[in-house]
Structure formats: structure tokens, C-alpha cells
Amino acid sequence: MVKTTLFLVSLFALSICILAEGVFNDRLEQNISGSNYQAQRREMVDKQIKKRGIKDRVILEAFLKVPRHRFVPEHLKYLAYKDHPLPIGEDQTISQPYIVAFMTEALNLSRQDKILEIGTGSGYQAAILAELCDSVFTIEIIASLGNRAKRLLDELEYDNIKVKIGDGYLGWEENAPYDAIIVTCAPAQVPSPLKNQLREGGRMIIPIGSSSRQDLVLLRKLNSQLVEEKVLPVLFVPMVDTTGKKY
Ligand code: SAH
């Protein structure tokens, strides 16, 4: 009887130890990788974004906060904070951090703004925008990417982002007009539905050109007219329709 009790007590103690060690190891791992990613984010902000002239504190804070490594495929996590774009599957890419920051800054956003994004991709740009604005509506034409981004953004508790699967050339009429529109795939011309869905005084940033050469163009709607300014040569994936044909 005594022996059995002793045996049970030691078994109980042993399982507590194993459990505690498991929890401890998990914490340790989280701490190591967590602080490591945080250090990588700080380095990305300092060396890639601040250094190239982006000074807005609120934007820099958003880049320090959003876990970019969660938006890239598992096997590329170690490259998530490097100074270049990365593949995200389906022949698409997550943009270079500096380009995300440059486009975000160009839009001159306010806390109460409602934004439309065309080309959700990984959802990273949408998350950055959601840190800065009231609401983000984002459209992705490839269902598998859009659904994956939606799941991740839900998991990260971005309840001010709505993801839709569809052709972003047409915009998202129900929620128009938008204070700002950001397009992360390149058509040959500015889509007219997007022009119409921009509010008076609103801003749009969009890469315009062929598959081999594009300019990032900043448009402002003033007195119902769009004023255009070329701001940077870039290379984005083309904007396509549902049959895969380039716009
Ligand atoms: N903003 C993304 C990068 C997107 S890459 C990020 O932060 O990760 C460009 C995306 O545009 C691709 O996912 C591509 O599938 C999508 N795309 C191309 N044509 C489109 C269209 N007509 N409507 C919506 N999305 C489109």
C-alpha cells in the first residue's frame, strides 16, 4: 500500500517536472526567436528604411511592430527582414520592406483614413496600413493567396482589414470613396474604376508600365482632376484579369 502510494506520488512529481520543462522550453524558444525577430526588425528599420530618408515615427513604429516573418513561407523566414522582395507562392512576391515603407509614406495617411489596396499578396502591406489608418479594404485575384492572408490577418487580430477575392481592376464600389488607394501590381494605365472610387483630395500610389519597366506614380484628386507625379522606377508583378491576361 505504502509502496503503491510512493510510486504514485513519484509518478505525479515526475509528470509535473516533464510538464514544467516543456513549458519552460517553449518559453525559452519563444524568447529566443521572439527577441531575435525583434532585433531583426529594428535593424531593418534603421538600415533599410530610416537610412533612406523615411522619418515618420508612426510609420517606423508600424514596421517595428508587424511580424514580417509570419507573412513569408516557413522556409524563407530567416530572410524575412532582408533588403529584398521574397517569393510567396503562385509566382507572386512580398515587396521589399523599403518599397512598402516608401509607398505608405507617399500616401500621407491620417488615422481616420479608409484605404483600398489592390494586390493583397501576403497581407503584409495591408497589416502595415491597418496600424496607421481606420480601415483597409484589400482585393486579391488569386484565391489561395487571398485566403491565406485573410487567415493570418485574423490570427493577428487585424479586425480593421477586409479581404476580398476578385479582380481589383474594378475596385470595391460598396465602400467607396476611399481616402487613399494603393496598388501593388502593375497595369499599363490607371484603371478608371479606381480613379472614380478615390475621394476628392484623395491620393493613389500605383506602378504603371510594362512587365519590364514601370514607374511608381502618385496621383492626387484635386477639383475632380487627377494630378500625376512619377516618383520612383520600380518592378512589380503585372495586374492581370481573371483569365490571366495583363491589363
Ligand atoms: N501587397 C502584397 C504584395 C503583392 S504582389 C504584399 O504585401 O505581400 C501583387 C499581388 O497582386 C499578387 O498577389 C497578385 O496575385 C495580385 N494581383 C494581380 N492582379 C490583380 C488584380 N487584377 N486584382 C487583385 N490582385 C491582383
**Predicted confidence band at 219 (pLDDT cuts at 50, 70, 90)?**
very high
**Predicted confidence band at 30 (pLDDT cuts at 50, 70, 90)?**
very low
Catalytic residues: 95
Contact of 67 with 44, CB cutoff 8 Å: no
The full set of domains in the chain, from first to last, is 49-234 (3.40.50.150)
Q: What SS3 state is found at 39?
A: helix
More confident residue, 121 or 16: 121
Measured in Å, residue 117 CA sits from the centre of ligand 1 at 9
User: Tell me, what's the pLDDT at 10?
Assistant: 54
Contact of 171 with 116, CB cutoff 8 Å: yes
Cis peptide before 177 (omega within 30 of 0): yes
**Predicted confidence band at 179 (pLDDT cuts at 50, 70, 90)?**
very high
Note the pTM of the prediction, 2 decimals. 0.88
Atom of ligand 1 nearest to the CA of 247: 22
**Predicted confidence band at 182 (pLDDT cuts at 50, 70, 90)?**
very high
Res. 214: pLDDT tops 80? yes
Most informative mutation of 93, 98, 115, 185 for ligand 1 (most atoms within 8 A of CB)? 185
HSE toward the beta carbon, residue 140, CA cutoff 13 A: 22
User: Tell me, what's the pLDDT at 107?
Assistant: 98
User: Tell me, what's the pLDDT at 7?
Assistant: 52
**Predicted confidence band at 20 (pLDDT cuts at 50, 70, 90)?**
very low
Atom of ligand 1 nearest to the CA of 94: 8
pLDDT in tens, 32-86: 455 599 999 999 999 999 999 999 999 999 999 999 999 999 999 999 999 999 9
User: Tell me, what's the pLDDT at 1?
Assistant: 53
DSSP conformation class of 131: H
| Residue range 108-127: mean pLDDT, rounded | 98
d(CA 77, CA 94): 12
Measured in Å, residue 119 CA sits from the centre of ligand 1 at 3
